[in-house]
């Protein structure tokens, strides 16, 4: 079933505002591949490029934070295991 032309126009508007292809797909509830086909020819303005660059940097910071939290949890588990092992050793 084809999408309405209004949906495609809305996708183009969002892309020109600096939304990523993935964001457009999620916002309009369409497949990412569909949004990619519709939007691959759109040339982004400087402000749209800046928005995407800022989101990319924020994504990198988020990824770093998530990995840091996971690393700290893993370290806590290892410390608890080591503590339990050491408590079983009699001197």
- Per-run averaged pLDDT (10 residues), the chain, 91 residues: 90 94 95 94 91 90 94 96 90 73
3-state secondary structure of 1: coil
Whole-number pLDDT of residue 2: 85
pTM beyond 0.75, yes or no:
no
Integer CA distances (angstroms), 41 to 2, 37, 56, 63, 71, in order: 20, 8, 21, 30, 41
Q: Any idea which residue has 């988020």 for tokens?
A: 62
């Amino acid at each position: 079933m084809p999408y309405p032309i209004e949906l495609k126009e809305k996708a183009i508007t969002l892309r020109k505002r600096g939304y990523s292809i993935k964001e457009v797909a999620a916002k309009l509830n369409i497949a990412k591949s569909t949004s990619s086909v519709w939007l691959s020819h759109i040339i982004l303005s400087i402000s749209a490029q800046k928005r995407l660059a800022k989101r990319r940097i924020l994504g990198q910071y988020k990824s770093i934070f998530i990995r840091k939290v996971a690393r700290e949890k893993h370290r806590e588990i290892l410390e608890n295991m080591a503590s339990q092992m050491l408590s079983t050793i009699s001197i």
